[in-house]
């Protein structure tokens, strides 16, 4: 009987080499979901008494200290769960001397009925002649529309997929994501239990550059010492899959342009953005990550994340006409109530 993979966690990281060596794990599903990286692989593991498939991505980040980058992805997951956006369940490990992420729940059904199609593959169906970086949100939505038409997919299914794309982009803006290009959206396609063709946004799995992980470590220390520098640099964390060019104030897809564009589309998007402002809580995210991995996030990175999160939230509240101070008071008042109830 295979041992639980949690038994191989040390100082927050799962020792994958030891786990694979000691257990009858199965390397399986030899297809890639992340740009055909030859180092990535699927692994069948035992966790919490169940057999699960995890997608392992060994990584080296050229920007941040490797550990910081992994923590940013874990925090991202917690924040998006607070907002109700579906993202992969991440864990962290070490494999062949490199840090690695372990992604669960990429698919609900690991049979032939479901498979992953990349956003770029959908766009190629429309025969675009632009580079990946030039695709806008509307290009991606248009590609989904064309795919649904070709596969005779129900309009309600298509509308939900489109709305999930828009909400994911709004949540990304809160989390200072700078890397949500066309190939950073995945879609689950195939047939459901009634043999009907379907498409849905897959749990977000390309979450590397968020919460300041586009800055190098020296910049982090400089920004913690200089409030003006921090405000300027954080404000320039733009958004790759932005709005159409005719709706941009600048050449690149600035995050404010994208936010305004999405919340102006309909009331549901505006309500969702307000809900993110009220419900996303960086301190809760930090606490949940440290509990989950049974280890502490490095102090300097925690402080940096708190500062840039606070800066971005204030700017978003201004865009949405929300009272930032009231929102923060409500969050900490609710936290105090919960602590009293637990005593």
Token pair recorded at residue 201:
């946004």
End-to-end Cα distance, the chain: 40
* Element at 189 (helix H, strand E): strand 186-191
pLDDT under 70 in the chain at which residues? 1, 27-38, 60-67, 109-112, 125-134, 234-241, 251-253, 332-343
For 130-147, write each residue's pLDDT tens digit. 444 567 888 889 999 999
Q: How far apart, in whole angstroms, are the C-alpha atoms of residue 185 and residue 140?
A: 9
Q: Which CATH class is domain 5-104?
A: alpha beta
Q: Which pLDDT score is estimated for 60?
A: 61
Burial of 163 (0-12, 13-18, 19+ CB in 10 A): middle
For 239-298, write each residue's pLDDT tens digit. 566 777 777 777 666 888 889 999 999 999 999 999 999 999 999 999 999 999 999 988
Burial of 291 (0-12, 13-18, 19+ CB in 10 A): exposed
Token pair recorded at residue 231:
């405000």
How much is the pTM? 0.86
Q: Which pLDDT score is estimated for 29?
A: 58
Q: Which pLDDT score is estimated for 132?
A: 46
> What is the residue extent of each domain of the chain?
5-104
Q: How far is CA 324 from CA 79, 267, 313, 316, in A?
A: 18, 21, 8, 9
Q: Which pLDDT score is estimated for 64?
A: 46
Q: Which residue has the tokens 């995050």?
A: 255
Report CA torsion sign: 12, 13, 14, 18: negative
Q: Which pLDDT score is estimated for 170?
A: 94
Angle separating helix axes 155-174 and 66-83, nearest 10 degrees = 130
């Amino acid at each position: 009987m295979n041992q639980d993979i949690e038994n191989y966690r040390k100082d927050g990281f799962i020792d994958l080499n030891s786990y694979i060596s000691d257990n009858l794990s199965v390397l399986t599903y030899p297809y890639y979901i992340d740009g055909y990286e030859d180092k990535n692989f699927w692994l069948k593991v035992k966790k919490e008494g169940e057999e699960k498939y995890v997608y392992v991505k060994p990584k080296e980040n050229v920007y941040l200290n490797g550990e910081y980058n992994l923590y940013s992805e874990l925090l991202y997951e917690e924040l998006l769960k607070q907002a109700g956006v579906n993202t992969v369940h991440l864990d962290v490990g070490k494999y062949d001397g490199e840090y690695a992420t372990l992604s669960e729940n990429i698919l609900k059904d690991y049979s032939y009925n479901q498979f992953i199609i990349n956003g770029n593959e959908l766009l190629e169906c429309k025969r675009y002649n632009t580079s990946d970086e030039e695709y806008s949100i509307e290009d991606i939505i248009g590609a989904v529309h064309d795919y649904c038409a070709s596969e005779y997919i129900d309009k309600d299914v298509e509308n939900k997929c489109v709305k999930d794309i828009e909400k994911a982009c709004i949540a990304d803006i809160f989390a200072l994501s700078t890397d949500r290009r066309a190939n950073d959206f995945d879609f689950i396609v195939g047939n459901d239990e009634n043999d009907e063709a379907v498409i849905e946004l897959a749990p977000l799995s390309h979450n590397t550059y968020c919460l300041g992980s586009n800055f190098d470590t020296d910049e982090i220390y400089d920004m913690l010492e200089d409030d003006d520098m921090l405000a300027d640099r954080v404000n320039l964390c733009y958004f790759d899959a932005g709005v159409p060019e005719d709706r941009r104030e600048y050449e690149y897809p600035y995050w404010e342009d994208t936010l305004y564009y999405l919340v102006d589309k309909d009331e549901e998007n505006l309500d969702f953005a307000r809900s993110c402002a009220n419900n996303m809580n960086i301190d809760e995210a930090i606490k949940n990550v440290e509990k989950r991995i049974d280890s502490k996030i490095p102090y300097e990175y925690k402080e940096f994340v708190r500062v840039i999160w606070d800066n971005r939230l204030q700017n978003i509240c201004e865009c949405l006409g929300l009272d930032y101070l009231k929102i923060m008071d409500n969050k900490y008042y609710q936290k105090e109530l919960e602590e009293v109830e637990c005593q």
